[in-house]
Amino acid sequence: MTAGMMTDYSGFIRQERDGRQCLRLAVEGMNCAGCAFKIEKALNANENVEARVNVTEKRLTLIWSGDTATGNGLVEKAAALGFRFSPVREKEDGGDDQARLLLRCMAVAGFASGNLMIFSLALWFSTRESMGATTRDLMYWYSALIALPAVVYAGQPFFKSAWRALSHGRTNMDVPISVAVILASAMSLFETVRGGAHVYFDSAVMLLFLLLVGRYLDVKARAQTRHAAADLLSLMNGTATVVQDGVMVRLPAEEIKPGMLLLVAKGEKILADGIAQGEAVVDSSALTGETLPQAVQAGGRLLAGMINLGNPVQLRADKSQNDSLMGDIIELMQKAEQGNAAYVRLADRIAGWYTPVVHALALAAFIGWWGFGGASWQLSLLYAITVLVITCPCALGLAVPVAQVVAGSHLFRKGMLLKSGDALERLEKVDTVIFDKTGTLTTGNIVFENRADFTGEELSLITALAGHSRHPLARAAATTANENISVAAREIEGEGMEGRYQGETLRLGSAAFLGAAPDENDEKMGLWFSAGKGAPKRLIFSDVPHADAAETVAQLKKKYRVLMLSGDRLPVARAIAGRLGIEVFQAGVDPRQKFAIIDAEINRGRRVLMVGDGLNDAAALSRASVSMSPSSALDIAQNAADIVYQQKGIASVLAALETARKTQKIVRQNFALALGYNVIAIPLAMAGHVTPLVAAVAMSSSSLFVICNALRLKGEQGWIS
């Protein structure tokens, strides 16, 4: 890419929540994990730059600090390695284009192979004397006329990729393949010219055919592993009806801006998050997995990805498409698939050594057989070609990403979003599960029982204070009062709310925060409220565990230690723990104590899964070995969690643990298969026990086997035991 031809990507750059710039690009010319390693190494060498390549999707995610112009320079640096980049939206069908090219090349190679077999069979089953030298040479020339044009056309997927790599001073897995095919064809042509016997035109073309079959099946199999969020992109495309000054205008979805008034017809997709201007009935299954229609009242939220099932409805957009919940889901899943798990790091290092090692081994095979093994140079070259073909780093490169993608899709269908690429790896090692109580083990649908004990003015003050908090008890207290009062308030983490009204200090929170003396034997949940110098008054609440909580805890206890931490008083915590069968619990813990408890567990060698939803859980979620949070949780809790689940109850925790266990089992199988294949195949090839055709079949099969093994994770029936 020259400076004069440099593409400006600034229109495709979006800003992350932390202020950094993000650019997502499709990568052309990348065919193995070694290519991905080179791209990442070149880009991550820059300060304040984070680059991660999704090998399965052939996508580059580039994040950096600084202005948008920096992105062009970073892409130019990666392009100097011989790769081509384009915005993802422009290349959504790139996989189909690649598959069609491979199919055409495969058809040419297959047709040529079939015709070459006519001559080859005659040559195989006759001798030079019985056929005659002239006839044999003529058949070799006919074979050359068929094979050489076929090699030139059918080999272009490999030749072009190899040339791009070499012309930019690097190598990839297509280099040894191209060298092998060219050497086999060149040696055969040389032997034909001199009337020799070592002519392998049929092998060269059949080798290409088998490699193309493997490459085509690999492309199609990868398409099957695409993450569920990629399918959601179709829900983000289209045009929306925007009402501007009473006139309806159709605009592309990406041009929707906050403040625009959208009209959504019956059966139409909602393309931006916003506020409903009237009643609506929607299908939200794409977002939450909820299959039943959902009613949304006027003033309620409508989200991108929902489908309007009722009468036409208007909504006022309050977010751009990229900032919508659907956009966040896609971003989270893409981020998870590009995670840098331990097996991924190991595969990257191995792939980086692939090309020099395989060429050195091929050269060693040639020298060994020709110089010391007594074989002819033609036969020695054939053994070297076999070594070039049979080695395969792709299986190693795919071993982890394919399993992660399939598992991520499975979890998404179960209403769970992976936010970290190594979350499943860490989750599989968990031996201790710690739950927060309110809003996690319990429904969070808390009832304010003793509202009648308070005056109308007190209820208004309580509502004004509680409205500033998202604590479950505070939300339950924020009821409609007889009088609306505005109070400036602040939340004191783990304690409660404090504000000022008409010169008096208002407080709403724990007994300790207000200096009250609670009944230590009371099993009801409660808050305390005080206005000025008045005595604190207790607000009494009731909550119930999720319907699936007891059964899920019972299942978890078969394999894990289960603990409960609660900020409530001991009697309240004891009552809930008793109902759920949790023997180990602690009550009255504040955020610092939760953090300290988890820190102590980890220092004792425990692998802790923390499940929580509140502000007071954020530090604990971050300290845990791995963490989960419900979608109803505070943003700070969701940001700290590795997995966010959308289904009600806690059955998702058990499902995630089972998914992690089975996924890591597949990953280990894939890694063992990929390493074992190369450890066995390379010595056999160097020993002369494998032909180039068998090598081509084996190399293609290794990648396909890894992909198909990971695909066993798809669907409930596909899980391994």
Task: Answer yes or no: is 181 within a domain.
Answer: yes
Task: Answer yes or no: is 214 within a domain.
Answer: yes
Cα(208)–Cα(505) distance, integer angstroms: 82
Over residues 413-417, the mean pLDDT reads 81
Residue 229 in this model has a pLDDT that exceeds 60: no
**Segment 139-145 long-range contacts (CB within 8 Å, at least 24 positions apart):** 140/191, 140/192, 140/199, 140/201, 141/192, 143/116, 143/119, 143/188, 143/192, 143/199, 143/201, 143/202, 144/188, 144/189, 144/192, 144/201
Cα dist from 523 to 66, 396, 514, 543, whole Å: 54, 56, 20, 11
For residue 90, what pLDDT band results from cuts at 50, 70 and 90?
very low
Query: With pLDDT > 90 as the criterion, what percentage of the chain qualifies?
Result: 9
Residue 273 in this model has a pLDDT that exceeds 90: no
Task: Answer yes or no: is 455 within a domain.
Answer: yes
Sheet holding 432-436, edge to edge: 416-418, 643-645, 626-630, 608-611, 432-436, 561-565, 584-586
DSSP state of 420: -
Note whether 471 and 552 are same-domain residues.
no
Task: Answer yes or no: is 597 within a domain.
Answer: yes
For residue 93, what pLDDT band results from cuts at 50, 70 and 90?
very low
Note whether 284 and 139 are same-domain residues.
no
Residue 688 in this model has a pLDDT that exceeds 90: no
Domain boundary among 526, 542, 558: 542
Task: Answer yes or no: is 671 within a domain.
Answer: no
Note whether 499 and 419 are same-domain residues.
no
Place of tokens 């990568």: 27
Note whether 290 and 413 are same-domain residues.
no
Count of beta carbons in the 10 Å neighbourhood of residue 285? 15
Coil/strand/helix, residue 721: coil
Domain boundary among 263, 294, 323: 323
Is 519 annotated in the active site?
no
- Among 185, 140, 159, 122, residue whose Cα is nearest residue 382: 185
- Give pLDDT, residue 613: 81
Write down the mean pLDDT value for the chain.
78
Note whether 435 and 560 are same-domain residues.
yes
- Give pLDDT, residue 289: 45
Cβ atoms of residues 303 and 238 within 8 Å: no
Looking up residue 69, the CATH number of its domain turns out to be 3.30.70.100
- Give pLDDT, residue 557: 94
Cα(625)–Cα(432) distance, integer angstroms: 10
Cβ atoms of residues 325 and 635 within 8 Å: no
Convert the pLDDT of each residue in 497-507 to its tens digit.
898 888 888 99
Domain count, the chain: 5
Task: Answer yes or no: is 720 within a domain.
Answer: no
Cα(666)–Cα(673) distance, integer angstroms: 10
Instruction: For 21, list phi and psi in degrees, rounded to 5.
Output: -95, 145
Count of beta carbons in the 10 Å neighbourhood of residue 600? 11
Note whether 601 and 650 are same-domain residues.
yes
Please spell the DSSP secondary structure of 232-257, one letter per residue.
Answer: HHHHH-SEEEEEETTEEEEEEGGG--
Note whether 431 and 552 are same-domain residues.
yes
For residue 48, what pLDDT band results from cuts at 50, 70 and 90?
confident
- Residue type (1 letter), 420: S
Coil/strand/helix, residue 377: helix
Highest mean pLDDT among 233-247, 554-568, 603-617, 682-696: 554-568
Domain boundary among 67, 92, 117: 92
Highest mean pLDDT among 3-12, 80-89, 618-627: 618-627
Over residues 272-278, the mean pLDDT reads 88
Rg (CA), the chain: 32
Looking up residue 249, the CATH number of its domain turns out to be 2.70.150.10
Convert the pLDDT of each residue in 601-658 to its tens digit.
989 999 999 998 866 677 788 888 899 988 776 665 677 788 888 888 899 999 999 9
Residue 440 vs residue 211, higher pLDDT: 440
Note whether 701 and 612 are same-domain residues.
no
HEC sequence for 2-56: CHHHCCCCHHHCEECCCCCEEEEEEEECCCCHHHHHHHHHHHHCCCCEEEEEECC
- Residue type (1 letter), 536: P
Note whether 42 and 108 are same-domain residues.
no
Burial of 35 (0-12, 13-18, 19+ CB in 10 A): buried
- Strands 239-244 vs 59-64: parallel, antiparallel or unpaired: unpaired
Residue 250 vs residue 497, higher pLDDT: 497
Note whether 646 and 694 are same-domain residues.
no
Task: Answer yes or no: is 83 within a domain.
Answer: yes
Looking up residue 501, the CATH number of its domain turns out to be 3.40.1110.10
Residue 104 in this model has a pLDDT that exceeds 60: yes
Angle between helices 651-686 and 354-367 (to 10 degrees): 30
Convert the pLDDT of each residue in 356-389 to its tens digit.
777 788 889 889 888 888 888 888 888 887 887 7
Cα(32)–Cα(171) distance, integer angstroms: 11
Cα dist from 279 to 36, 291, 295, whole Å: 49, 19, 7
- Give pLDDT, residue 153: 94
Note whether 429 and 466 are same-domain residues.
no
- Give pLDDT, residue 57: 65
For residue 430, what pLDDT band results from cuts at 50, 70 and 90?
very high
- Among 562, 337, 603, residue whose Cα is nearest residue 441: 562
Looking up residue 569, the CATH number of its domain turns out to be 3.40.50.1000
Residue 394, Cα to own-chain centre: how many angstroms? 19
The one catalytic residue among 218, 328, 436, 613 = 436
Note whether 101 and 76 are same-domain residues.
no
Task: Answer yes or no: is 295 within a domain.
Answer: yes
CA atoms within 13 A on the CB side of 97: 6
Over residues 252-275, the mean pLDDT reads 84
Cβ atoms of residues 417 and 332 within 8 Å: yes
Residue 380 vs residue 57, higher pLDDT: 380
- Residue type (1 letter), 119: F
HEC sequence for 65-93: CCCCHHHHHHHHHHHCCCCEEEEHHHHCC
| Structural domain boundaries enclosing 156 | 96-226+336-400+690-714
